[in-house]
Amino acid sequence: MSSAATRPRAGAPSSPAASLWRASPLTRSIGAFNARHAYGSIQEGDPRACEGWQAFESLAGSAHRDAVVGRIARDTSAPVGVAATYTFRYALATPLQFAGYLFAKERRVPRLAGNVGLRDHEYLQHAALFAPTAHVLPDDELAVVPGCDVADGEHALADALFAEVSALTRDIIDSWSNDRLLARANAWGGIIDALASGVRLAAMHAIDADAAWKRWDNALAGRELPIRRRPRRFQFECDGEPGELVVRADCCLWFTLPAAKTRGQDYCTSCYLTDDETRRARMVAFTRSQRQRTASAGTEASTEGA
């Protein structure tokens, strides 16, 4: 149901030179996230030692930024202005979804600032943490691990989450908005959307869904953010089974592309401009199609094994 170009499935990058795995305090957390994340992966290690990886903050520099945006523009057949919004959202997706997931599921905040690498490949869906450590609560088993900071309660942990996100993205937002490639409010909308998508992942696969969303709501309560609106949880039912998605706060500009007109779908299913009746109908149809596809794949596998 994504508005963006079709993204590859999850998994480590195909080049052997890109393998970075090493054990860390967050190894189990990263493994659980990778098993549930559909379009990307987190690796552990220093990507500066491998070809094809760049520090996240390098996107603030015009040379690397323009090269990546130009490549995305060609891949998606989008004007540079639209491709810049896509590229920013792609770059945020995996590291910030992991941050939202970890916060909602394990009450931990990964260290992000100066600690994230991206593989300049496909849709930037493969990320790495140079030194995977975290901000944790006093009762966390990682509280005694060197490199992990102890937050004084839930509110302080939420403060750490937004401080890490702000420090990671500040220079990029300044650079891109100064060059009129990205609006600040839309950039922050994308940031909050990515975090909320991670919360949804935790709600779907890790803990009680209401508990995950309550933790997120508490983190946002009373917080001033430079956004026009906030993402929201949208719940629906398909044939007696519950489902949900995140209605986004930002705009991906999909509706400006010829492909949107070709498909007869001006706005994405997760777009705040789509009415909830249409959103619900699309999600029910999509869920049924996914079930049919899964059932068909199971039938084919059974036939092959007979």
pLDDT tens digit sequence for 38-95 = 888 998 877 666 667 889 999 999 999 999 999 999 988 888 888 999 899 999 999 9
Whole-number pLDDT of residue 250 = 78
Burial of 90 (0-12, 13-18, 19+ CB in 10 A): buried
Question: For the residues of 237-305, what is the DSSP string, one character each?
Answer: EETTEEEEEEEPSS---GGGSHHHHHHT-SS-TT-TTS-HHHHHHHHHHHHHHHHHHHHHHHHHHHHHH
- pLDDT score at 76: 83
pLDDT of residue 3: 42
Q: What is the pLDDT of residue 225?
A: 83
- Structure-derived torsion over alpha carbons of residues 167, 171, 174, 178, reported in degrees to the nearest 10: -170
Question: 236 φ, ψ to 5°?
Answer: -145, 170
Position 18 scores a pLDDT of 44
306 residues of the chain, pLDDT tens digit each? 344 433 333 344 444 334 555 668 889 999 999 998 888 899 887 766 666 788 999 999 999 999 999 999 998 888 888 899 989 999 999 999 999 999 999 999 999 999 999 988 889 999 999 888 899 999 999 999 988 999 999 999 999 999 999 999 999 999 999 999 998 888 998 999 999 999 989 888 766 788 888 899 999 888 888 877 788 888 888 888 888 888 888 777 777 777 776 766 678 788 888 888 888 888 898 889 888 887 776 665 554 555
The crossing angle, in degrees rounded to 10, of helices 80-106 and 27-36 is 120
Contact 176, 88 (CB under 8 A): yes
Three-state SS letters, 22-42 = CCCCCHHHHHHHHHHCCCCEE
- Rounded to whole angstroms, the Cα distance separating 95 from 143 reads 22
How many residues belong to the chain? Answer: 306
pLDDT of amino acid 298: 64
CA distances from 225 to 189, 229, 249 (A): 9, 9, 12
Tell me which residue of 95, 84, 87, 54 sits closest to 194, measured CA to CA.
95
d(CA 38, CA 205): 12
Measured CA to CA in angstroms, residue 189 lies from 18, 43, 173, 208 at distances of 31, 26, 12, 26
